[in-house]
C-alpha cells in the first residue's frame, strides 16, 4: 500500500514560509519585549537579532499573502458540504504564551530553547500537512473550510483556504496546493442582460 503522492506535498520552503508567517506576531512581540524601558532608546537591546526577526516576520507575511492572492485559476467544482474550521487557527496561540514569560534575546539558552521548540512544531506541522493553519491568513480575512466537493463524478474532501463563504450547492474554482489543501479562487458571476 502506498501513501499520497509526494509531489502533492506542500514544498518544504513554502511550508517554512507559511510556518514563519504564522509566528510573525510572536516575533513582533519578542522585539517589543527587547526594548528596555530604563533606556529611552529607539533601538532594542539586541538590534541585529530584533531587525532579523522583523525582516523574517514581514517578509514571510508578504510572501504568503501575495501567493494566496495571486492564485487566479483552477478546477471548477460543486460544493456538496462545507464546514468552517477557522477556529482551529487558535491552535497557534499556545506558543504565543511564550511571550508572557521573561524572554531575553541576548540569552543563548533561551534562544536555543525557542529554536528547538519551534523546529519541533514545524516538523510536526510539515509532516501532518497542517502548516497551512495560519492565523495571519485569518487576520487578512481568509477562512479555513473543510469541504467536500464534486469534480465530474469524483467526490473529494479537502481543506480550502478562502476569502468568501462556501455553501452547499455553490460552484467555485479551486487551485490545488497539496494533497488535501486547496485555495478558492473568487470568480465574477456572469451579468444578466
Residues in the chain predicted with pLDDT less than 50, given as ranges, are 1-8, 188, 190-193
Residue 48 lies in a domain: yes
* pLDDT at position 8: 45
Residue 191 lies in a domain: no
* pLDDT at position 57: 93
Report DSSP letters for 8-27, one per residue: GSPPHHHHHHHHHHHTHHHH
pLDDT tens-place string over residues 44-68: 888 899 999 999 999 999 998 888 8
Give the predicted TM-score (pTM) of the model.
Answer: 0.74
Instruction: Retrieve residue 63's grid coordinates.
Output: 510572501
The tally of domains found in the chain comes to: 1
* pLDDT at position 159: 85
* pLDDT at position 191: 43
Residue 174 lies in a domain: yes
Residue 41 lies in a domain: yes
Distance CA 164, CA 186 (A): 7
Amino acid at each position: 500500500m502506498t501513501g499520497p503522492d509526494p509531489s502533492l506535498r506542500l514544498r518544504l520552503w513554502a511550508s517554512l514560509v507559511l510556518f514563519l508567517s504564522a509566528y510573525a506576531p510572536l516575533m513582533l512581540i519578542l522585539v517589543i519585549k527587547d526594548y528596555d524601558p530604563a533606556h529611552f532608546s529607539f533601538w532594542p537591546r539586541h538590534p541585529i537579532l530584533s531587525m532579523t526577526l522583523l525582516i523574517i516576520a514581514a517578509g514571510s507575511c508578504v510572501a504568503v499573502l501575495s501567493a494566496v492572492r495571486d492564485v487566479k485559476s483552477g478546477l471548477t467544482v460543486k460544493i456538496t458540504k462545507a464546514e468552517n474550521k477557522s477556529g482551529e487557527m487558535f491552535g497557534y496561540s499556545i506558543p504565543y504564551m511564550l511571550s508572557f514569560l521573561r524572554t531575553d534575546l541576548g540569552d543563548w539558552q533561551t534562544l536555543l530553547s525557542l529554536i528547538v521548540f519551534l523546529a519541533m512544531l514545524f516538523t510536526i506541522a510539515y509532516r501532518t500537512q497542517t502548516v497551512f493553519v495560519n492565523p495571519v491568513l485569518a487576520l487578512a480575512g481568509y477562512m479555513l473550510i473543510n469541504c467536500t466537493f464534486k469534480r465530474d463524478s469524483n467526490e473529494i474532501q479537502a481543506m480550502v483556504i478562502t476569502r468568501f463563504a462556501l455553501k452547499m450547492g455553490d460552484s467555485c474554482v479551486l487551485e490545488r496546493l497539496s494533497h488535501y489543501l486547496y485555495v478558492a479562487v473568487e470568480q465574477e458571476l456572469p451579468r444578466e442582460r
